[in-house]
Amino acid sequence: MDYLISLAVDPAAWIALAALIAMEVVLGIDNLIFISILTNKLPEVERSKARRIGIGAALILRLALLGTVAVIVRLTQPVFSVLGNEFSWRDIILIAGGLFLVWKATKEIHHKVDPNPDTEAFTPSVAASGAVAVIAQILVLDIVFSIDSIITAVGMTEHLPIMVIAVVVAVASMLLAADPLGNFIEANPTIVMLALGFLLMIGTTLIADGFGVHVPKGYVYAAMAFSALIEGLNMMSRRRRKKAKG
């Protein structure tokens, strides 16, 4: 109890908490885009429930991972080397997660541009696999982002309660934003391709990070924000042209 009280009156703890919440919320954008793309393939009546279950399960998973933070920190230790390049378990997880994300985004892009998607064996419908498969995929990617964010969080603060609060606040924000974002993407088909492009870029940066080539997150999110701004202008232009014709 004394430990928690000392944290509550420590200005440095509040600064660390604010920084961690901001980081977790920003990283949550990646998850939300992925969740929206997947759940929008489900029947409409199942989408909201699948989002809540997936995000809720992700919260439990992140809290469980925080309980093993000492083990996760050791994942940065090299386990083998190839041609002089050392790889840790963190690197392996990032590369595997990045490959999964690139594969998933590429498959969905193929599904969008294929005029006869139902006849293409390369792209089976996510809807056919059901909500359980969607939730499982959400959790797989969340493991990758969670491990990376926890390792980053440990470098920002050593206090576990601060990490737990930041995760809970970030996941609560995801729950609030999941349905509006999913509905927005569903109502604007051009946004879907843009979102898939974001996932492709994020997956590529994860792979690069796993191979030791660090791409600053600020560059990635700046590119995403710029692309979203341009698409927003395109949407405004289309709406005004429709009004003018009407």
Q: What is the pLDDT of residues 46-82, one digit of tens each?
A: 888 888 888 888 888 888 887 777 677 777 788 888 7
Answer yes or no: is pLDDT of 234 > 50.
yes
In single-letter form, the type of residue at position 220 comes to V
Predicted pLDDT at 22 = 81
Q: Bridge partners of 88?
A: 78
Q: What angle do CA 157, 55, 96 make, to 5 degrees?
A: 75
Per-residue pLDDT, averaged over 107-117, amounts to: 73
Mean pLDDT calculated for residue range 24-36: 78
How does the average pLDDT of the chain come out, rounded? 79
- Please say whether the beta carbons of 54 and 216 come within 8 A: no
Give the pLDDT band (50/70/90) at residue 7.
Answer: low
Question: Token pair of 189, please?
Answer: 């088909």
> What predicted TM-score, i.e. pTM, was given to this entire model?
0.72
Using CB atoms within 10 A of its CB, is residue 85 exposed (0-12), middle (13-18) or buried (19+)? exposed
The answer to whether 186 and 77 are in contact (CB under 8 A) is: no
Asked whether the predicted pLDDT for residue 135 surpasses 70, the reply is yes
Q: State the Cα–Cα distance between residues 114 and 118, nearest whole angstrom.
A: 9
Tell me what pLDDT residue 3 has: 59
Residue pLDDT, tens place only, 159-199: 778 888 888 888 888 888 888 888 887 777 777 788 888 88
Helix (H) or strand (E) holding 92: helix 89-113
Quote the CA–CA distance of 211 and 214 in Å, as a whole number: 8
Confidence bin at 117 (pLDDT 50/70/90) = low
C-alpha gyration radius of the chain = 20
Q: How far apart are CA 10 and CA 129, in angstroms?
A: 49
Question: Residue 127 pLDDT > 50, yes or no?
Answer: no
Helix, strand, coil shares of the chain, percent, nearest 5, are: 85, 5, 15
* CB of 30 closer than 8 Å to CB of 145: yes
